[in-house]
Structure 1
């Protein structure tokens, strides 16, 4: 999951929790919109945090490298 998916889940969760969109009656009977919204909020926040942590670790590991040069011994 990337940052984009985390943001999408976060926005969907906020929409469902605040009740900005009314779900159809058939969906509302099967699924509790508030509960689904809180689940989306938590999973979206975790996805954003995990994406940031993984990107931070990736940038640390690729920027550090060691270059070793060996000089040939002089010829006699």
Structure 2
């Protein structure tokens, strides 16, 4: 979601900075456009970082026969990388 928000902010900022040629006395539209473009880039990069740091879980299951009793033994292991957000 943050990647899409970053793209939207960048596009709106580019429209304000480059496409609109309206003179508004109380606000500088190109400056607002550049600020929105910078915010869009920051939000896009933060979204990519969080996407790369998503928690991944590895589950392994082993089934074997116990040689002493002849019973079937099942062992499950679960591991996840240590990344606290």
**Same fold flag (TM > 0.5):** yes
Matched residue pairs, number? 69
- How many Å separate the matches in 2 of 1:29 and 1:65? 59
> Which one has a larger percent helix, Structure 1 or Structure 2?
1
> Which one has a larger percent strand, Structure 1 or Structure 2?
2
Question: Which stretches of structure 1, 4 residues or longer, exceed 6 Å deviation after superposition?
Answer: 70-73
Partner SS, residue 53 of structure 2 = helix
- How many Å separate the matches in 1 of 2:50 and 2:65? 41
Superposed CA deviations along residues 27-70 of structure 1, whole A, max 9, x for unmatched, are: x2221101101100100001111101100110xx21x4254769
Determine the structure 1 residue equivalent to 2:12.
12
Query: Which runs of structure 2 are paired with 1:34-53 in the superposition (5 Å)?
Result: 34-53=30-49
- How many Å separate the matches in 1 of 2:2 and 2:50? 10
Determine the structure 2 residue equivalent to 1:65.
58
RMSD of Structure 2 on Structure 1 (CA): 2.3
Compute the TM-score of the two structures, normalised by the length of structure 1: 0.69
Determine the structure 1 residue equivalent to 2:50.
54
Partner SS, residue 58 of structure 2 = coil
